[in-house]
Chains A and B, each alone.
Chain A
Amino acid sequence: MENLLNIFIKSIFVENMIFAFFLGMCSFLAVSKSVKTAMGLGIAVVFVLIITVPLNFIVEKYILKKGALIWLGESFADVDLSFLTFMIFIAFIAAMTQLVEMIVEKFSPALYNSLGIFLPLIAVNCAILGASLFMQEREYANVLEAGVFGLGSGIGWLLAITGIAAIREKLKYSNVPDPLKGLGITFILTGLMAMAFMGFMGISL
């Protein structure tokens, strides 16, 4: 239990997808103009992450790892499919994204319209694949840990994008130098926010 809490807090604050690894930057910069859409996309990302990280964990454990196919029979003990990791992971992610897209379209057309192109683009949101790859690299012990890691990363991403969207809404009233307007100032703001998040570094529970 303690371990799970540790992973959870760590993935939200210390190893925040955006501020520590710059993952999911494209949609982070492009969809953060208003808090409402940012929240919507954030929730979609959390949802996709909760599903894909444990799913990919299972796939990794029972199909891809060296010797993982042993449940098929003794002769598969030496099969190592880990070079297929990228392709399998991304295929699962793309399929899940499609599913989420259909669900959102059915139950919340307003959100669907405001997210526009960025919903299908979650498939290529680096935060999603990144979380799966980090999950693989850190070798979590069981599905539950992987799931908690996915949830934490998603919430961290949601926090970050909502935060920057709120700042950008206020920014409309300030006097930014012309060439820095829009993208430039957003980059610098993200940098400053990341610096604030670095205050969490080294925390272990």
Chain B
Amino acid sequence: MSNQEKEPMFSAKNFKLLTEPLGKNNPITMQVLGICSALAVTVKLKPAIVMALSVMIVTGFSNLVIASMRKFIPDRIRIIVQLVVIATMVILVDQFLKAYVFDVSKQLSVFVGLIITNCIIMGRLEAFAMANKPWPSFLDGIGNGAGYGLILVIVAFFRELLGSGTLLGYPVLEKIGVYNTGYENNGMTILPPMALIIVGLIIWVQRSRDKSLVEKQ
């Protein structure tokens, strides 16, 4: 740990912390964390992006805060301390969203509050921030938040495109003129079950491309 102090801010190791959760160690498809609040917000692209950014900020900064105080937190009450830090971050994000993007905040309803119990954040605090310096922890938090956001945006992209024929509210399919050929929106992708199935398919694609990720039974 001690020789890490002389490392440059973006050493190869730190950079890996940032990029690995995007693919090989993705929080949703590999670590099975944070699915809870992920899927209900992916009907439209816009709330999904807002949600992704919020989670990224909360993970990054709560990792930073916890990593800075990790030496002073008594082991027995660490869960409560962590929850208080996370809850503070989420309250900040929630108030910010209510002030600046009220309509999206309404659409997300309880799911902003549920970022508190998003297992990614707790999981990263336990697994990484409690044992590492603030800067790498911050990067780890941002990386994992981004990995989560990536899946969210992919799922939302397909659900909005196939379900409503729009992207960010812009009627893409209508402009291309697909409807004239007899195409119709697939209403099923708007329904909750499709989100799960799309994530299942993403996992399938990811694991068939990288055989080392396949689970052994």
Contacts and interface: CB of A to CB of B under 8 A. Distances in A.
Contacts of B142: none
Nearest to B88: A87
Given A94-B79, A123-B79, A130 B114 contact: yes
A: contact size bracket = 35 or more
B90 A187 contact: no
Contacts of B40: 21-22
Contact of B196 (A26, A125, A130, A188): A188
A178 interface: yes
A129 B116 contact: yes
Interface residues of B, number: 49
A191 B39 CA distance: 11
B200 A188 contact: yes
A198 interface: yes
Nearest to B30: A183
Given A19-B192, A180-B200, A183-B215, A26 B83 contact: no
Interface in A107-137: 120-121, 123-130, 133-134, 137
B3 interface: no
Contacts of B84: 87, 91
B217 A180 contact: no
A185 B36 contact: no
Contacts of B80: 91, 94
A153 to B, nearest CB: 13
A127 B119 CA distance: 12
B117 A30 contact: no
A99 interface: no
A185 B217 contact: no
Interface in A162-190: 172, 177-188, 190
Contact of A126 (B36, B195, B197, B213): B36
Contact of A172 (B94, B119, B217): B217
B29 interface: yes
Interface string B86-130: 011011001100000000000001100110111100100000000
A195 interface: yes
Interface stretch (B48-56, B170-178, B203-211): B203-211
B33 interface: yes
B79 A23 contact: no
Interface of A: 19-26, 29-30, 83-87, 90-91, 94, 120-121, 123-130, 133-134, 137, 172, 177-188, 190-192, 194-195, 198
Given A22-B36, A178-B211, A181-B215, 18 more contacts: A21-B40, A22-B38, A22-B196, A23-B37, A24-B36, A25-B36, A26-B33, A87-B91, A121-B119, A124-B118, A124-B119, A130-B114, A137-B109, A180-B200, A181-B214, A184-B203, A187-B196, A188-B196
16 contacts: A22-B35, A22-B40, A25-B36, A26-B32, A87-B87, A130-B36, A133-B110, A180-B203, A181-B214, A182-B217, A183-B32, A185-B200, A187-B199, A187-B200, A190-B193, A194-B193
